[in-house]
Structure 1
Amino acid sequence: MFPSTTATLHTLDNGLKVILDSDASAPVISTQVWVKTGSIHEGKWMGAGISHLLEHMVFKGTESFSGEELSQTVQAAGGQWNAYTSFDRTVYYIDGPADSAETFLKAVTEMVFKPRFPEEEFEKEKDVIRREIDMGLDDPDSRASRQLFSTALANDGRSQPVIGHLELFNEITHADMVEYHKARYTTENCFLSISGDFDPEEMLETLNTLVGDIPRSFTQQATPEVEPPQLGKRVERNNFAVPASKLTLAWQVPGLTHPDAAALELLSTILGGGHSSRLYQSIREQKGLCLHIASWAWITQQPVGLFSVSAEVPTEQRDALEVAIIKEIETLCTSQLVEELEKAKRMCLVSQFKTLTSASGRASDLASNWHEANNLNFTKDFITAVDSVSVADIRRVCEKYLLDHSKLTVTSLDPEETKAKQSTQKKQQSKNEIVSHTLSNGLELHLRASPRLPMVSIQGATLAGLTSETPATAGISTLLSTLLTKGTTSRTGAEIANQLECLGAGLAASSGNNTAAISASCLSQDLGTVLELLGDCYANPSFNSDIIEFEKKTQINDLLEQDEDPVSLAFRSMRSSLFAGEGYGINRLGSQESLAGLDRLSLSSHHSLYYTAQNTKLAIFGDIDIDQTIELAEKHLSQIRRGEGLATPTQTLGSPEEINLKLDKQQAILTLGYAAASIHSDDIHALDLLHAWCSDMAGPLFTRIREELGLAYYCSATQFHGHDTGLFGFYLGTSPDQLELARTELLKTIADISNNGIDAKTLDSVKNSWLSSQALANQSNSSMARLCAIDTALGFSPTHHRTIAAKIKAVTPEDILAAAQKYFGKQTPTIVTVTP
């Protein structure tokens, strides 16, 4: 069922391999360069993070571009770019419009093969990475991950953090970095993966012009150490500022070339891969032993991988949870697994289909296939291997790898013992046409047929979210969203999860600023079943009191963990002040006090008022027949109560103030917030471009504060548009001793923006970048359906999102200046700092 790739592999005269995947379904392209080097290849620099440092430094300029020219060129061409370093690879990518392909390729190949490495930028960038190291040390998930790898893989390079240890990182010299680049960034140790709208022959000609002069060079071999067999149970426990323990059980398993790889992948899905899985249902839902639990198989080209179960658990239940997990694994080995195995296979297939929905996903999938297996069709081959796995295979690998307790590694990140609290008219179906139809109960549908892949995305938007809450009911929208799929008057949560995951389908609910959302995805053949489940969950949630209390406990745990995140603390305090603690100033998780007051009656009342047909819009995009889908929707969604459309309350604004908070972390955070525009304001397009400029690596914040001065690891902007007002914010993370200087420079930069706006040439580049990001987003049916649902819920037409590009193009420098002066120049911001 999974298609063979039509991509082709080519080798240029200098040994550089190129994967070409031509697909004209959208006018976009993804250009990626994969370097087969990561932290496990660092040799004498092992543990210093030199691969990650090198990834940062290639952005500082190339043979043809200075660092600033490089970012401006990519932005002007509409490119969305970034890079990442892992244990065994470093990847650089630029996604954007297809007609900018040559520009992207010139930029990304020069970064890899022809970097300048300006010495004056070296120490400055090292200081930026030091801030990133601090961030990792402050983040509990990062700490838990580091703890696991250093314990379970104690003797190979993966035991060391990719970013490096600070004391070793400090020892890296500029000469070391140049030497490492020369040894590892060679034509035979790198390859390109390009997917999108292009002609392959023309692309090869372009590549020969761009990189044909790069000489073939010797790759310094770096053979990673292999983790020896484990000879006894390993246990590592550490304390950290977390409200509940982060527990992981892990077993060493073989690598991707081993015949058991496919069975291990399916075993992880059966055991803990979703809400209908054994661990989730038995341990979380039935026994209530943990807050979150899942299993995963990390199987790569390295000879040793990990099979892990991860959970968040109240510390007093941690040891009991470990026993329960082991017991569940033992039970699985003797269980009937036929239905669970088929469900796991379907989930694996659907997950792989999802990778093909964008040029970036296809390029990454092909590159990963080549990197891991030297086989462009490895995904298809692996799916074939998955399909041949039997129940006997599952039992065999479970017994072989998971029942020998001498092979078990247990790690936990536990709370500190004492901690100071911080505080339709039917229309003819045609390509890209959106057809609108109103069901008998008043529910407005918007449908679009897109048969490229056999999948369907359903997105619903309800006029609710934060504007439907008060301080006394804070968190009710998030809690209600969680409960929608936890059981109905005719189905248990386990039955819902199992039915969905047997299809490889998904159903989820969430809540945001202006709307609450429900979304689903499935193979097209399963649309009727998924619509039936969606309608039942939306119309008939059971609101079981025991489940309510358990989910409240989970939400409180998330709230406590949020309190330990300095960035989250700064933004929540800023929003609360800016919006006087109401509406958009309410924390979406609520407070411990508000959650304590929420019960079955309050949830049922909130649901009855807001979750109605008249207050909701639904978009169904994908491989559908319009008429048949309308019939299915009438059959399954007409059970939603009609209700009425609701007006949104006026937002209250607080007086600007400055708030200084303390949190025992290593980094300092600064946020500035301004009241901004309504979603219906003509100013939003200028603000969107200001936001794009201020968030971009070529923008004034990044260029001045991070690049020129090296004052912050990150410095950016954020915004949202609300019903009658919105938020535009600036933020940065820095070291405490640089906070005042960073603050001064940020305020100067904002003042310069409000006084001068954006010049015409730069504005054209910003527009190209913004339009490119939209083109990339428009590849996905789910994102387009989501836009359509939200737009119509907010009172716009179903095709409103298609008009935005023209409005963006029409924005003038005068519009930008007027918006900057109106929202930044004439307002005093609310400022929040969080310091150690």
Structure 2
Amino acid sequence: MFPDTTATLHTLDNGLKVILDSDSSAPVISTQVWVETGSIHEGDWMGAGLSHLLEHMVFKGTESFTGEELSQTVQAAGGQWNAYTTFDRTVYYIDGPKESAETFLKAVTEMVFKPSFPEDEFEKEKDVIRREIDMGLDDPDSRASRQLFATALANDGRSQPVIGHLELFNKVTHADMIAYHQARYTTENSFLAISGDFDKVEILETLKKLVGSIPRSFTLQPQVSEEPPQLGKRLQRSTFAIPATQLTLAWQVPGLTHPDAAALELLSTILGGGRSSRLYQSIREQQGLCLHIASWAWITKQHTGLFSVSAEVPYEQREELEQAIYLEIEKLCGAPLDAELAKAKRMTLVSQFKTLTTASGRASDLASNWHEARNLNFTKDFVTDIEKINEADIRRVCQQYLLDHSKLTVTSLDPEGSDENAAQQESSNTEKEITSHTLSNGLELHLCADSRLPMVSIQAAIRGGLTAETPENAGISTLLSALLTKGTRSRSGAEIATQLETLGASLNASSGNNTSAVAASCLSQDLDTVLEIFGDAFANPAFHQENIDFERKAQLTALLEQNEDPVSLAFRTMRSKLFAGQGYGINRLGTENSLESISQLAINAHHSLYYTATNTKISIFGNIEKDEVIELAEKHLSQIQPGQVHYSSSQAHGEPSEIKLTLDKQQAVLALGYRGASIHSEDIHALDLLHAWCADMAGPLFTRIREELGLAYYCSATQFRGHDTGLFGFYLGTSPDQIDLAKAELFKTIQTIATEGMSESTLDSVKNSWLAKQALSNQSNSAMARLCAIDTALGFSPTHHREITEKIKAVTTGEILAAAQKYFKDQQVTIVTVIP
């Protein structure tokens, strides 16, 4: 069922290998360069983060471009670019319109093979990374991950953080970086992966022209340490400012070349992959021992991998949870597994299908195949191996690897002050027809057929969200969303999860500013079953009291975690002040008081009022026959009560003010909030382009504050539009001693924008970048169905999202300047600063 790849491998005269995947379904291209070097290859610099530093520095200029010219060139060509570094690879990519292929390839290959490494940028970029290191130390997920790898792989290079330790990072010199680049960034140790709409002959000729002058070069591979067999259980506990323990159990398992790799992947899905899994249903849903639990298999080409179970658990239940996990593993070894095995295989297949929907996903999949296995068809081969696994294989690997506690590592990140630790510290760009149909109950459907992959996306948008809440019931929309899949009058939550995941399907609900959403996806052959479950969950949720109590507890924990994040604290405070604590000024998680006061009766009433046919729009996009879908929708969705359309009341506004807060973290955060535009404003397209410019790496904020002055690790902009108002915000993160200077420079830059606007050439470049980002987004049926559902719920046409392109193209520099003056110069701002 999984297709053979049609990609081809080519070797240029200098030895550089190129993977080409030509696909004309969308007019976009993804260009990626993979350098087979990461933190485990740093030799004498191990633990210094040299690979990550080098990744940052190649953006500072090349043989043909200064750093500013490089970012402007990519942006003007519509490129969306970035890079990342892991233990064993550094990857650079640029995605965008196919017409810019040569520009993208010139930029990305020069970055990798011909960087200029300006010495005057070196210390400034090191200071930026120092802020990033601080941010990692503030983040509980990053801390928990470091703790796990340092303990489970204690003798392995992967025990060291990719970003490096500050004291070692500080010792790296400019000369060290150049020497590392010369040693590791060679034609032998790198390859290209290109996917999208292009002619293979033409792209090869282009590559010969661009990289033909790069000489053949080789890499002397350093000795990479491998973790020896574990000889006993390892335990590591530490504390952090979190409300609940993050617990991880991890067993050493073999790498990707081992015959047990496929069985271990399936075992992780059966044990803890999804809401219908054994761990989730038994331990979270039935016993209520944890707030979240999942298992995962990290199996790579390295000799040793990890099989892990991770959970978030109240500290006082940590030991009980650990014992319950062991018991579930023992039960699995003796239980019938055929149905769960079939479900796990289907989930794996669907997950792999999803990687093929975009050019970027296909390029990454092919590059990963080559990097891990030197086999472009490895994904299909692995899926084939998955299909061969039987019940006996699952039992055997479970017994062999998970019952042996001499291979077990247990780590926990516990709340500060806990007793024990007090002493221990693809979509096509072609516009397919969207048709609309109204069911007998008044529910409006929007359908779009796309047969490229055998998948369907269902997206429902319900008018409401924060606009349907008050300070007294704040958080009710989010709580209701969490409960929507926990059971109906005819199905339990476990039955819903099992039915869906047996099919490899999904059903999720969420809530936002203007709407709530329910989304599902499945293989097209399963649409009847999934639409039946979708309709049942939407129309007939049971809202059992035990589920309400449990999800309330989980939401309260998330709220407490949110309070420890300086960025979240700054934005929530800014929005509350800007919107007078009403509507958009309400925290979507609510408050401790509001959550405690929400009753079962209130949730039922909220659902009855908003989750109605006339207050909801549903889009179904994918491999469908429209007449059949209408028939299925009438069968399964007509049970939704007709109801009435919800119209939001006018949004209140607060007086502009300045708030200074403290939080015991290492970074300082600044957030500025201006009243933004409504969804119906004539200014929205100019503001979209101002936002794209201010949020871009080539934009005025990033260029001035981060690049030129080195004052912040991140500096960007954000916005949203509401029914009668909106928000346009700016934010940055910096060190506490630089917050005042960074704030002054941010205001100065904003006022320059408000006074001067954009030049004609800058506007053209920003438009190209915005349009390219939309083209990349339009590859996904789920994204397009979501846009269609939200647009129609808010009163626009089903094709509204398609019309925006022409409106963006028509924006003038005069409109940009007028919008900048109106929103940034002619109104006062709300300011929130969070410092240690």
Same fold (TM over 0.5): yes
The aligned residue for residue 427 of structure 1 is none
Structure-to-structure mapping, 1:577-656, within 5 angstroms: 577-656=577-656
The aligned residue for residue 136 of structure 1 is 136
AA aligned to 1:438 is: T
The aligned residue for residue 557 of structure 1 is 557
- Are 1:674 and 1:827, in contact at CA under 8 Å, matched by a contact in 2? yes
Structure-to-structure mapping, 1:137-176, within 5 angstroms: 137-176=137-176
- Are 2:658 and 2:832, in contact at CA under 8 Å, matched by a contact in 1? yes
CA offset at residue 621 of structure 1? 0.3
AA aligned to 2:468 is: S
The aligned residue for residue 741 of structure 2 is 741
Deviations along 1:164-208, one digit per CA (max 9) or x if unpaired, are 000000000000000000000000100000000000010100000
Deviations along 1:9-57, one digit per CA (max 9) or x if unpaired, are 0000000000000000000000000000000000000000000000000
1:790 and 2:773 matched: no
The aligned residue for residue 422 of structure 1 is none
The aligned residue for residue 526 of structure 2 is 526
AA aligned to 2:176 is: D
The aligned residue for residue 322 of structure 1 is 322
Deviations along 1:125-152, one digit per CA (max 9) or x if unpaired, are 0000000000000000000000000000
The aligned residue for residue 114 of structure 1 is 114
The aligned residue for residue 385 of structure 2 is 385
- Structure 2 distance, partners of 1:585, 1:42, is 48
- Are 1:147 and 1:411, in contact at CA under 8 Å, matched by a contact in 2? yes
Structure-to-structure mapping, 1:237-252, within 5 angstroms: 237-252=237-252
- Are 1:566 and 1:665, in contact at CA under 8 Å, matched by a contact in 2? yes
What SS does structure 1 have at the residue aligned with 2:202? Answer: helix
CA offset at residue 407 of structure 1? 1.1
What SS does structure 1 have at the residue aligned with 2:334? Answer: coil
What SS does structure 2 have at the residue aligned with 1:446? Answer: strand
- Structure 1 distance, partners of 2:195, 2:223, is 31
Structure-to-structure mapping, 1:176-215, within 5 angstroms: 176-215=176-215
The aligned residue for residue 425 of structure 1 is none
- TM-score normalised by structure 1 residue count: 0.98
Structure-to-structure mapping, 1:181-330, within 5 angstroms: 181-330=181-330
- Structure 2 distance, partners of 1:433, 1:721, is 27
The aligned residue for residue 333 of structure 1 is 333
The aligned residue for residue 426 of structure 2 is none
AA aligned to 1:512 is: G
CA offset at residue 827 of structure 1? 1.0
Deviations along 1:525-570, one digit per CA (max 9) or x if unpaired, are 0001110000000000000001100000000000000000000000
Moved over 3 A (4+): none
- Structure 2 distance, partners of 1:117, 1:515, is 47
RMSD: 0.8
CA offset at residue 409 of structure 1? 0.3
- Structure 2 distance, partners of 1:823, 1:652, is 18
AA aligned to 1:471 is: P
- Are 2:524 and 2:624, in contact at CA under 8 Å, matched by a contact in 1? yes
- Are 1:720 and 1:726, in contact at CA under 8 Å, matched by a contact in 2? yes
- Structure 2 distance, partners of 1:387, 1:158, is 31
AA aligned to 1:322 is: E
The aligned residue for residue 677 of structure 2 is 677
- Structure 1 distance, partners of 2:608, 2:431, is 37
AA aligned to 2:819 is: A
CA offset at residue 222 of structure 1? 1.9
The aligned residue for residue 498 of structure 2 is 498
- Are 2:315 and 2:418, in contact at CA under 8 Å, matched by a contact in 1? no
CA offset at residue 646 of structure 1? 1.5
The aligned residue for residue 373 of structure 2 is 373
- Structure 2 distance, partners of 1:756, 1:480, is 46
AA aligned to 2:380 is: K
- Structure 2 distance, partners of 1:403, 1:221, is 37
- Are 2:575 and 2:673, in contact at CA under 8 Å, matched by a contact in 1? yes
The aligned residue for residue 47 of structure 2 is 47
The aligned residue for residue 514 of structure 2 is 514
- Are 1:577 and 1:657, in contact at CA under 8 Å, matched by a contact in 2? yes
Structure-to-structure mapping, 1:741-780, within 5 angstroms: 741-780=741-780
AA aligned to 2:652 is: T
Deviations along 1:594-636, one digit per CA (max 9) or x if unpaired, are 0000111000000000000000000000000000010000000
CA offset at residue 217 of structure 1? 1.1
What SS does structure 1 have at the residue aligned with 2:803? Answer: helix
- Are 1:677 and 1:683, in contact at CA under 8 Å, matched by a contact in 2? yes
- Structure 2 distance, partners of 1:504, 1:737, is 51
- Structure 2 distance, partners of 1:131, 1:141, is 17
Structure-to-structure mapping, 1:361-440, within 5 angstroms: 361-417=361-417, 432-440=432-440
- Are 2:189 and 2:218, in contact at CA under 8 Å, matched by a contact in 1? no
AA aligned to 1:86 is: T
- Structure 1 distance, partners of 2:339, 2:709, is 59
The aligned residue for residue 467 of structure 1 is 467
The aligned residue for residue 66 of structure 2 is 66
CA offset at residue 218 of structure 1? 2.1
What SS does structure 1 have at the residue aligned with 2:827? Answer: coil
CA offset at residue 223 of structure 1? 2.9
- Structure 2 distance, partners of 1:95, 1:458, is 27
- Are 1:4 and 1:377, in contact at CA under 8 Å, matched by a contact in 2? yes
CA offset at residue 641 of structure 1? 0.5
AA aligned to 2:713 is: Y
- Structure 2 distance, partners of 1:501, 1:339, is 11
- Are 2:660 and 2:834, in contact at CA under 8 Å, matched by a contact in 1? yes
- Structure 2 distance, partners of 1:503, 1:710, is 50
Deviations along 1:738-789, one digit per CA (max 9) or x if unpaired, are 1000000000000000001111100000000000000000000000000000
What SS does structure 2 have at the residue aligned with 1:333? Answer: helix
- Are 1:16 and 1:188, in contact at CA under 8 Å, matched by a contact in 2? yes
Could you tell me which runs of 5 or more consecutive residues in structure 1 were left unpaired when the two chains were aligned. 420-429
CA offset at residue 406 of structure 1? 1.3
- Structure 1 distance, partners of 2:649, 2:44, is 62
- Are 1:431 and 1:449, in contact at CA under 8 Å, matched by a contact in 2? no
The aligned residue for residue 708 of structure 1 is 708
**How many residue pairs get matched?**
826
The aligned residue for residue 834 of structure 2 is 834
- Structure 1 distance, partners of 2:649, 2:766, is 34
Deviations along 1:388-414, one digit per CA (max 9) or x if unpaired, are 000000000000000011111000000
- Structure 2 distance, partners of 1:174, 1:249, is 40
Percent identity between the two aligned chains: 77
What SS does structure 2 have at the residue aligned with 1:770? Answer: helix
- Structure 1 distance, partners of 2:390, 2:222, is 38
- Structure 1 distance, partners of 2:640, 2:688, is 36
CA offset at residue 695 of structure 1? 0.3
- Are 1:667 and 1:734, in contact at CA under 8 Å, matched by a contact in 2? yes
AA aligned to 1:375 is: N
CA offset at residue 418 of structure 1? 7.6
CA offset at residue 431 of structure 1? 7.0
What SS does structure 1 have at the residue aligned with 2:356? Answer: helix
